[in-house]
Amino acid sequence: MAVFNGTNLILKIEGATVGHTTSCSISLSTDLPDATTKDSSGWNEVIAGVKSGEISFDGLVDYSDSANANEIADYLIAGTQVTCVFGTSTSGERIYTAEGYVNSIEISAEMESPVSYSGSITLTGAVTASNN
């Protein structure tokens, strides 16, 4: 795979592409509990612990989008668990699929500027990586 344009990355929530995004990112991490003992020869040792993830996104508000800022806010208010897909729509390329909860959504309006939104989704349970 060659280097590709970030415009090709999309975020889908409940099967609908989040509209007019200007950026999106996925962050995966794992907790590494200390496992250092006297037998560690002075070196720090860790074990793999709990994994976690978050998806963040920014965009421009267009209420005619099927997955728009108001709909995302409704998921947060209702505490609805959503299915997220992060990746490209190109066949054969990597996508990440997970369940999560919207933990923030902000809609901002500056004078004489497009209305924008930003938010994040905390992932819960396993994240699946596969090829589209």
Residue 1: the pLDDT is: 54
- Inter-residue contact 61 to 71 (CB < 8 Å): no
Question: What is the C-alpha separation between 16 and 56, in angstroms, rounded?
Answer: 16
- Inter-residue contact 58 to 121 (CB < 8 Å): no
Query: Residue 34 pairs with which residues in a beta bridge?
Result: 46
Q: What is the pLDDT along the chain (132 residues), one digit of tens a residue?
A: 577 888 889 999 999 999 999 999 999 999 999 999 999 999 999 999 999 999 999 999 999 999 999 999 999 999 999 999 999 988 889 999 999 999 999 999 999 999 999 999 999 999 999 998
- Inter-residue contact 81 to 69 (CB < 8 Å): no
Question: What is the C-alpha separation between 108 and 39, in angstroms, rounded?
Answer: 55
- Inter-residue contact 119 to 57 (CB < 8 Å): yes
**Domains, the chain, ranges and CATH?**
8-29+47-131 (2.40.30)
pTM: 0.91
Residues 6+ positions from 56 with CB-CB distance below 8 Å: 23, 24, 25, 27, 118, 119, 120, 121
The token pair at 109 is 């309006």
Indicate the SS3 state at residue 110. coil
